[in-house]
Every structure is written in C-alpha cells, then in structure tokens.
Structure 1
Amino acid sequence: MPRTLAFLRHGQSQWNLENRFTGWVDVDLTEKGEAEARKAGQLLKQEGTEFDGTFTSVQTRAIRTLNLALEEMGECWLPVIKNWRLNERHYGALTGLNKQETREKHGDEQVHIWRRSYDVPPPPLEDSSAFPSLNDRRYRGVDVPKTESLKLCLDRVEPYWNEAIAPAVRDGQNCIIAAHGNSLRALVKLLFEVSDQDITSVEIPTGNPLLIQLDENLKPTAARYLDQDRAQPLPGGF
C-alpha cells in the first residue's frame, strides 16, 4: 500500500522579507506567509489525501504554517508532534545579518559557500550574540548548535526520521511535515539519495506542498509540488 508524505516549508517569514539569515531565531510569518500557509492547506484539501498525523519544529513560523494549513483543510484535530530536530539550520555568526550586506562584506563566493555548500558551516555564533538559543527553555537538555552546515543539519534530522517519522509511515500513516528550507532539504537528500554535490541546487519554495508517494521500503515512487506555478526542480527525475 503506497504511503504519502507532504513536505511543507513555512510561509514567508518577517526575516525572509527583510532578506536576513534566520536559522534558530524565532520570527513570525508575514501576511504573505500566512496567505501562503492557507493556500497550502487549500491545495492539500483539494488533493483529497487523508492524513493521519503531522510533524513540525518548535519554531513559530513552521508551527503557525501547519496550524493555518490544517484550518483550511478542516482537520485541526490531527495530532501534531513538535521536535527541535526539525528546526531550521543554524546559521551561526551569520544569524540576523542582511544577506546582501554580507555578500558586499565577504564576497559572493564566500557567502555562496556558507549558504549552499553541503559541509562547510558558517563561523559559530558567539555567546555574546544578540540572538542566543542556549538559554531558550524549549531547548533544555539539548546540545544547541552554534553553527551548522546542511550536513550537520542532516545529522540531527536523520535520527528523528528513523526514530519517529519513518515508523509512523511504515505503519501506514500519511503524514505532513511542516518545517524549514534546510531541514526539508536534508530529508529530500535522505529520501531521494541526492549526492552531496547535487543537493546544493535543490531549493524548497515557501508554502508550496511537496507531495511524495513512497513504497513499502519508503523509497519515493512519485513526487510533485501542488502549486505548479511555484514549483522547483526535483531530484531523481520526478
């Protein structure tokens, strides 16, 4: 029996709008982001898949995106499991900086490496930063990173996939994962077996559900974005 996953990147956030590196800073959605979340819910409802459970991060923009989508679907009753391992990638010392100003200061090539390379993290966040995560009570008992590459992000996402999400899917549940650009890219790399080189060109659009069909071995057999006007290329020829 085929299983269905829906990957949903949060709608536009305030720092998306301001072109700033966000990472673990807990910013909210813009009005456009809220509209994207509602549109995602409408698209999922039109698709007709019966979902059984949902997973999200502990960051407001992802949680609210999921909640708004579920409202549009008429399925606010679905169970929601939140876990920090689905958080956005930690951008280290880049956190809070304007992306264009950072390019002007460090050069396009260096910023491209920090943003898009698979295994080169930005410089770590200083303890004196205005954006610390270490003292946030939602992360009590968590070894909070001070910077992450996509590889390091995958290193924390993969165990959560193996321990929590995959067992639910194997049990026959159709699930929505509402998360972030990089935590979802990490899952795409894992499920589609994307190479380290090719994952650098994979982009997940905001608020556009990616519907994935899986076989009994949790291998993708089909994948497509529900809003084709804002679709991005998918790996594996889908």
Structure 2
Amino acid sequence: MSKKATLIMMRHGQSEWNKHNLFTGWVDIPLSQKGIEEAIEAGKKIAHIPIDYIFTSTLFRAQMTATISMAYHQSGKVPYFIEPEKNKPEEWSQIHDENVKKHCIPVVKAWQLNERMYGDLQGLNKQKTIEQFGKEQVQKWRRSFDIPPPEGESLAMTAERTIPYFKKHMLPILEQGKNVLIAAHGNSLRSIVMYLDHLSKEQVVELELATGEPLFYTFMHNTWEKNDIS
C-alpha cells in the first residue's frame, strides 16, 4: 500500500551576493541579514510538518537556510550533516545512542544539488555584464534552457545532475512515506520542479522561485500534487 509523503523544497534565503546583484553560482557565499530573516520565516512555515530527511547542497547558503529553518521546528530535532563522498569514513560520524538518534535529523550534503555553475560570470555584477555584453546576450545566458554562459552550465546541464540524484536518493525515501526537505538553489530546484510538473523547456525558463519560500508537494501512488500546506 502506498504511503503519503510530503516533499518540501526551499530556495536559500538572500545571499550577500544576491544583495549586491552579483552572479554567484558555485562561489560559497553566506546569507545576508535579510536571508537569515527569510530562513527564519520559512522555518515557521514548515514548523508543524514532520521531516525525516534533509538534503542540501554543499554550498553554505543552502546549509544555513536548512539549519536556521530547523531551529524553529516543533520537533526540536537536531540536524546532523552527512557528506558521503568525503574521504573520511562515513562510520566516523555515526551516532551510537539510539535515543539520541531519535532526536536528530540526517542532513545529506550533495554537490549535485549545487546552484548552476556560472563560469566566467561568477563574481560579476549583473547590470555591468549587461552593459558589457548586451541585454539580449545576458538574457540568453541567464534564462535560456540550453545555452550556457562562458565556461559554465546551462539549466539543461544542471538538470542532468539534479534529476538523476533526486530519483536515486530521494525518491526511494518518499516512496516509504517519509517526508523530505530540500534546501538548495534557484536553478537546481527549478530543474527538479520541471521533472515533477512535467514542464517543457519553454515553461521552465519562465519559472521563478522566491528566496526562502517553501514549495510543497504531496507524493502518493506515484503521483505528485503541488499544494499549499503552510
């Protein structure tokens, strides 16, 4: 019998480089004060929903968003981070008291959930980039599905890593009726939404995800339903 599960996806709060209108990509920038406040508000919106697993990118702004949000969760559970691909043996971070373990939530860090890599644009001011290369060219780099910025990734390339990871690592958990929170980035989450909502490449480029605003999906009988359960 299929069990109902909830998937929560949350774009990180405003980062310091979002605030200054800079291309960020894989540069590891923390949240701004506004981003911290957005993470707090997001945490209040999901505080009543049981969460069994958290997945986040390897970038600090996504991890900050997840941990700040969980500080307001009604369960009082403590997030603990797992990074399976590090050289350190995974068993070194195991919790050996079952009672303590019940009051923790595993957080899996995965580079596959990182933001789209913006290549040569990373660290550049978006407005100055428009002045240098023209609005039309920059718009293609930013908003087209399959045109990457110089030495960077397109949204299509990002989807090639995020969607297989979602299917392999998160879908089996949801199929068990367990709830999952993903704290990640605008483009990595857009590609997952594209998969869940069966969006075309024309539709997904119009999709905007607000910083610090949770998205909710219910999964049951192999069917996804977007809803507002906040």
In structure 1, give the amino acid aligned to 2:30.
D
The alignment status of 1:12 with 2:17, answered yes or no, reads: no
For residue 220 of structure 1, report the CA deviation from its aligned partner: 1.8
Shift of 1:212: 1.1
TM-score normalised to structure 1 length: 0.82
Which AA in structure 2 matches 1:150? L
Q: Which residue of 2 aligns with 1:222?
A: 226
Partner of 2:112: 85
CA RMSD of aligned residues (A): 1.1
1:208 alignment counterpart? 213
Shift, 1:223, TM fit: 2.5
What's the TM-score, normalizing by structure 2? 0.85
**2:49 aligned with 1:49, yes or no?**
yes
Q: Distance in 2 between matches of 1:179 and 1:53?
A: 14
Q: Which amino acid aligns with 1:82?
A: K
Partner of 2:28: 26
**Given that residues 54 and 176 in structure 1 are in contact (C-alpha distance below 8 angstroms), is that contact kept between their aligned partners in structure 2?**
yes
2:226 and 2:142 map into 1 onto residues whose CA distance is 28
**Contact 1:209/1:225 (<8 A) preserved:** no
Give 2:226's aligned amino acid. A
Aligned-pair CA distance for 1:215: 2.1
Deviation at 1:225, TM superposition (A): 8.0
3-state SS of 1:72 partner: coil
**Matches of 1:5 and 1:75 in 2, distance apart?**
18
Give the secondary-structure state (helix, strand or coil) at the position aligned to 2:29.
coil
Question: Deviations 1:163-184 (Å, cap 9, x if unpaired)?
Answer: 1011111111100000000000
- The equivalent of 1:136 in structure 2 is none
- Cα distance, 1:107 vs. partner? 1.0
> What is the CA deviation profile of residues 166-223 of structure 1, one whole-angstrom value per residue up to 9, with x for unaligned ones?
1111111100000000000010001111001010100110001111112221x32233
Q: Could you give the per-residue CA deviations for residues 35-85 of structure 1, whole angstroms, max 9, x where no partner exists?
A: 11111111111xx22111110000000001100001111332211011100
Cα distance in 2 for residues equivalent to 1:56 and 1:206: 15
Residue 107 of structure 2 corresponds to residue 102 of structure 1: no
Alignment correspondent of 1:232: none
> One-letter code of the match for 1:220?
W
The equivalent of 1:142 in structure 2 is: none
8 Å Cα contact 1:56-1:82 kept in structure 2: yes
Residue 183 of structure 1 aligns with which residue? 188
Which digits, 9 at most, give the CA deviation of each residue in 1:130-169, with x for residues without a partner? xxxxxxxxxxxxxxxxx10000000011121111011111
**Aligned match of 2:39 in 37, 40, 52?**
37
Residue aligning to 1:64? 64
Question: 5+ unaligned residues in a row in structure 1: which ranges?
Answer: 125-146, 227-238
Tell me which stretches of 4 or more aligned residues in structure 1 moved more than 6 Å: none
Which of 1 and 2 has greater Rg?
2
**Is 1:155 the counterpart of 2:182 in the alignment?**
no
1:119 pairs with 2:146: yes
User: Structure 1 CA distance, aligned partners of 2:174 and 2:129?
Assistant: 41
Q: Higher strand proportion, which one?
A: 2
SS at match of 1:81: strand
**How many corresponding residue pairs?**
201
